Amino acid sequence: MEKSNFKQEVFAYLMLILGSALFAAGDVMFVNPYLLAPGGTYGLSNVFNTLWPWKISYYAICMDIPLLIIGTIILGPRFGVKTVISTILIFAFTWLFETVWGYNPVIHEGKILTDGSAEIVDGMVQIVNGGGWFVPDYFLNTVVAGLVYGLAIGLIFRAGATSGGSDIISMIIHKYTKISLGTLVLIVDSCITLTTLVAFGDIRLPIYSIILIFIESKIIDVVVDGTKTYKTALIVTDQAEIVRNYILNDLHRGGTCITGEGLYNGTERKIIYVTMERTDFIKLRSNLRRLDPSAFVNVIDSSEIMGKGFKALPTE
């Protein structure tokens, strides 16, 4: 058991390192050159870096450390060691990439060297700190940036860390206002995204930033929860034995049979609770009318199932 826990911790820290490196690469190579700001302290740091050239990593760490300290004082020590390590790793990798790589885009349609600060002129973007002009490919860059960001943050979440940063602001406001945390995260990140419109006057920038956030969120779900989609069915039936035999013998799945009572006339009925993969559910749905034409079925999407026959329960 101790060996297993040790291996899991080593693997978690490897994911943390890889996720932090990918996040930094995505920010420096894809997000910053296109003047995007997909939320968080690094999104805001990209805007500051473009307006007043100073390293993204310096701006971000100047915000992250006070936020972690303030968050710990107000919310308690809930962030954990891995979140602190992740904050330091992302800072270090971002500093490394912007020092070695600079702010040059990976995706573009051509570049002309020149001097000056970043801005948008006649459809071309000028790289911060005099790196040169390039003709942008906004859509492809946004898709790739969303994939890289999503994979990075997904790995960080899988490692047991959190993104910290601007999320701490949302947590603090949530404590005193009781507005839902999801709503507050959306508001805070939207405000950061809109700073690109205020700073650069181009409506495309916040729109592409929002598209990036959407792609990122979908990839995070895949990394954290996996690609399998499960269906949970609650089947209220008078033919419990027939349905039970079909699930056991034809689908080779297990389940739970619960006794319930109808609200209208108080009739006792059986409720079969079963979780299965999408392909098995399609078979069950196709045969339910034959098994019990009067059955009542409630179907729920299940993103994560733990226990016998599915993913193992996590160890402490």
- Confidence band of 142 (pLDDT split at 50, 70, 90): very high
- Confidence band of 195 (pLDDT split at 50, 70, 90): confident
For position 137, what pLDDT does the model report? 87
* Residue 160 structure tokens: 């047991």
The residue with greater pLDDT, 90 or 227, is 90
Residue of 222, 26, 254, 260 whose CA lies nearest to 143: 26
Helices (H), 229-269: 240-245
Nearest-angstrom CA–CA distance, 103 and 132: 10
- Confidence band of 127 (pLDDT split at 50, 70, 90): low
Rounded to the nearest 5°, which phi and psi values hold at 298?
-115, 125
For position 112, what pLDDT does the model report? 61
- Confidence band of 60 (pLDDT split at 50, 70, 90): very high
- Confidence band of 227 (pLDDT split at 50, 70, 90): low
- Confidence band of 111 (pLDDT split at 50, 70, 90): low
For position 213, what pLDDT does the model report? 87
Please check whether residue 118 is in contact with residue 50, taking contact to mean a CB–CB distance below 8 angstroms: yes
Domains of the chain listed by start with CATH number: 2-106+139-225 (no CATH), 230-302 (3.30.70.120)
Average pLDDT for 172-179: 78
- What residues does 256 pair with on adjacent strands? 273
Average pLDDT for 15-40: 91
Provide the whole-model pTM.
0.75
Report for 1-10, 65-74, 139-148, 301-310: range of highest mean pLDDT: 139-148
Quick one: residue 114, left, alpha or beta (phi over 0 = left, psi -120 to 50 = alpha)?
beta
Rounded to the nearest 5°, which phi and psi values hold at 300?
-125, 135
Average pLDDT for 60-79: 82
Long-range contacts, 218-224 (Cβ 8 Å, 24+): 218/150, 219/146, 219/147, 219/149, 219/150, 219/151, 219/154, 220/150, 220/153, 220/154, 220/157, 221/154, 221/303, 222/150, 222/154, 223/150, 223/151, 223/154, 223/155, 223/157, 223/158, 224/154, 224/157, 224/158
Least confident of 84-98, 173-187, 228-242, 279-293: 173-187
266: amino acid identity, one letter: G
Residue of 60, 58, 18 whose CA lies nearest to 39: 60
Q: Which residue has the tokens 């911060």?
A: 128
For position 316, what pLDDT does the model report? 52
Collapsing DSSP states into helix, strand and coil, what is residue 308? coil
Whether the pLDDT of residue 155 is over 70: the answer is yes
| N residues, the chain | 316
